[in-house]
Amino acid sequence: MRVLLINPTLGEAYGQERAMHQLGEELARQGHKVFYLGEYIVGDFDPLGGYALVPGLSRSSWTDRSGKTPLRALLSTIQCVAPQIIHLHDALEARLLRALRRHYPTVFTAHTMAASCPASTRLRKASVCQSKAGLACLFADLHDGCLSDFRNLARKVHALESYRRRDRELKQLPSIIAVSHYVADTLVQNGYAPERVTVVENPIVVRAHASAPAHVPLFVSASRLVKHKGIALALEAFASIRDREWKYYIVGDGPEKGKLQKLSQSFGIDERVHFVPRLGQKQLHEFLCNATAFLQTNIGPEPFGLTVSEALAIGVPAIVAKLPCFDSRFENMRGVRLVQAGSTAALSLALVEALEAKLVLPQIAKHSPNTIEVIEKIYQQARSDFLSRPQKRIGALSINGQSSLQVGGG
């Protein structure tokens, strides 16, 4: 089968991109022809069947005039690939989604909360954030500031309308893949048909295994540096045990980096806190091999927690905030120390346990569960549903010379 995987970012940027490329590798091993389409390449990228870049793919807006939308370039590029199935790994703008689902069998994987939340996160467990998203998000924003990335009310309303249009198109797709039961639950609560939502956890691929711990106890966090990841809480906890010996490495980039650096300085621990730019998967796993523990100190829910799973598979224990989806995925799992989310005292206690070698070591993974058969069945069902309906064929679409089509690898 000719499979086209679409995500605005290609490469090893973060968990979502890693999961997509691991899927592509496994599909190729099973004999499928795999192609990639995105807008940017970040970090290491090894395309298999080939790839294409379409400018504007992630920046498209429902208010764009026809001359600005990347729709024509997108369809022209896809015609070159002639896919038998399109697998979206991010929710594109509504007009792009509509065109894809009308002309090609298309499925979507919800890696994040973007499919059920205009702010791509859910900051509270019991609030309007756990029910249908919409104008009620403006009231949640008054309390949580979850729409603070949008500078004024007009931009917030624009974002909500963009979300509404995109949400309407996603609900028309024959199959939605959720990476965890928590993501699936939020989708169903937000109006997605339960029979169209399938939970398929991301594959866990290990590129290295734990070795001897570092001479100085080493703690590692790896994530995009945004508020709900809770890195500030970790710094506060480390400041409370500054009398002990430790090092803390924060791997990743993001808008909170400058604030976090200043915070570590204000706590007087900046000489022991090191900020490391984003690493590729193999580099990150080699880095984790010497860690005393991996930290995931979120103050807001997480859809899957890929790096936590990878650390455990490598053989490194993890200290994890007890909130969705961690509270269900990692409950009673060997090697995981769940702590009260948002509690500096609880996190400090867990750090001391790690320093005193009281954390239980995880079972090193021998292999990752094979999910490819489930994915193939979803593809086959989507194709069957698509081919059983009246067809709308695309006319000849020439490639726009300004679309900067780039194809590589075949």
Both 378 and 309 in one domain: the answer is no
Number of domains in the chain: 2
18 Cβ contact list (under 8 Å, min separation 6) = 12, 281, 306
Asked whether residue 164 is domain-assigned, the answer is no
User: Using one digit for the tens of pLDDT, what is the confidence trace for 16-67?
Assistant: 888 899 899 999 999 999 999 999 998 778 887 899 999 999 887 777 776 6
User: Using one digit for the tens of pLDDT, what is the confidence trace for 107-162?
Assistant: 999 998 887 787 776 666 555 565 667 777 888 888 777 888 788 999 888 888 88
Both 391 and 340 in one domain: the answer is no
Exposure b/e, 271-308, CB count within 10 A at least 16 = b: ebbebbebbbbebbbbbbbebbbbbbbbbbbbbbbbbb
Both 297 and 336 in one domain: the answer is yes
Range of the domain at 319: 218-355
Write the DSSP string, 84-135. SEEEESS---HHHHHHHHHHS-EEEEE-SGGGT-TTS----SSSGGGS--ST
Both 66 and 176 in one domain: the answer is yes
The list of the chain residues with pLDDT below 70 reads 66-67, 121-132, 210-214, 364-369, 391-410
Both 333 and 252 in one domain: the answer is yes
Asked whether residue 243 is domain-assigned, the answer is yes
Both 47 and 188 in one domain: the answer is yes
pLDDT value of position 395: 44
Report the CATH number that the domain containing residue 99 is assigned in CATH.
Answer: 3.40.50.2000
Both 70 and 102 in one domain: the answer is yes
Residue whose entry in the numeric block shows the structure tokens 């691929």: 205
Asked whether residue 120 is domain-assigned, the answer is no
pLDDT value of position 31: 94
User: Using one digit for the tens of pLDDT, what is the confidence trace for 95-111?
Assistant: 999 999 999 999 999 99
Burial of 366 (0-12, 13-18, 19+ CB in 10 A): exposed
Both 230 and 100 in one domain: the answer is no
Residues forming a β-bridge with 274: 249
pLDDT value of position 209: 72
Residue whose entry in the numeric block shows the structure tokens 């409370």: 240
pTM score: 0.85
C-alpha distances out from residue 204 to 2, 181, 213, 279, Å? 24, 17, 22, 17
Asked whether residue 121 is domain-assigned, the answer is no
pLDDT value of position 409: 43
pLDDT value of position 14: 77
Distance from the Cα of residue 369 to its chain's centroid: 19
Both 247 and 338 in one domain: the answer is yes
Both 191 and 338 in one domain: the answer is no
- What is the chain's length? 410
pLDDT value of position 150: 84
